[in-house]
Amino acid sequence: MGLRSRPESVAVACLLAATGGFLDASTYLARGGVLAAAQTGNVVLLAVAAAGGDVGKALGHVPSLLAFLAGVLLTEVVGGPRWRRLLRRPVRAVLLLQVAVLVGVGFVPGAPAGTTATSLASAGVAFAAALQLNVFRSVRGMTYATTFASGNLRSLVEKTYAVVRHRGDPESTARQARDIAAVLVSFAAGAFAGALATDAWGARGIWGSVVLLLTVLVLVVRETRHIERG
């Protein structure tokens, strides 16, 4: 089953989506046009480079892909019964690991695509994004994604159409449409903030995402205590 958080509140979901947008904007601007938070772009760019005979450029996308897979695998391992006995709060541990990785990425100097520095930084971001994507999956019972927008856009259209056509429970469907719209707006706002932070501070602008994640951690702790108390 792997490690999963309980369904997130809308506030947590929006902050996580903002983090995803922030990471993509930051890596795109500071790392030579690389999109490391979601791996669709890396797969396409790897295939295009390979088709053009540029083996070196194709291989440059491999570290990010492997790091993403490693992040997913780690959350699956930590979600096992043995690790759950060792880690009393595994979701918090994953958030802190994500924060630590992104702090480290901020110390890697900005460089053009294809350089060792860019590959290292992109791999770090991909690993952190995989942790987030595989742990945080639902907002108030509805599946969503925190590091890319395609699936969320599909859900928005689906839920909005259901509201217009009076399908399902009107109140529940309308709430889900509002929730996913808030997530999408937050993703765009995070990307906007990431662009501004990178323009102002370069590669270290990614530390703005750390602030967002620490806020998520605070909310998760507060919400967990509230649930446990009553």
Q: Which domain does 113 fall in, by range?
A: 10-225
- Cite the DSSP H helix spans in the chain: 10-30, 40-51, 55-59, 62-78, 81-86, 90-106, 116-135, 150-164, 170-201, 207-229
Q: What pLDDT sits at residue 33? A: 77
Q: What pLDDT sits at residue 141? A: 78
Say if residues 155 and 186 touch (Cβ distance below 8 Å): no
> Of 140, 138, 152, 136, whose CA–CA distance to 72 is shortest?
136
Say if residues 39 and 24 touch (Cβ distance below 8 Å): no
Q: What pLDDT sits at residue 170? A: 85
For residue 4, tell me if it sits in a domain.
Answer: no
Q: What pLDDT sits at residue 32? A: 76
For residue 162, tell me if it sits in a domain.
Answer: yes
Q: Which CATH number does the domain housing residue 193 bear? A: 1.20.1250
Whether the model pTM is above 0.75: yes
The residue type at 209: S
H-helix or E-strand containing 143?
strand 142-143
For residue 77, tell me if it sits in a domain.
Answer: yes
Low-confidence ranges of the chain (pLDDT < 50): none
Q: What pLDDT sits at residue 80? A: 73
For residue 49, tell me if it sits in a domain.
Answer: yes
For residue 210, tell me if it sits in a domain.
Answer: yes
| pLDDT tens figures, 153-198 | 999 999 999 999 888 888 999 999 999 999 999 999 999 999 999 9
Question: Ramachandran region of residue 202, left (φ > 0), alpha (ψ -120 to 50) or beta?
Answer: left
For residue 157, tell me if it sits in a domain.
Answer: yes
- The whole-angstrom separation of Cα 110 and Cα 118 is 7
Q: Which two tokens stand for residue 211?
A: 């602030």
For residue 161, tell me if it sits in a domain.
Answer: yes
**Cα→Cα distances 177→44, 134, 153, 192, Å:** 31, 22, 10, 23
142, β-bridge pairs: 139
How many domains does the chain divide into? Answer: 1
For residue 3, tell me if it sits in a domain.
Answer: no
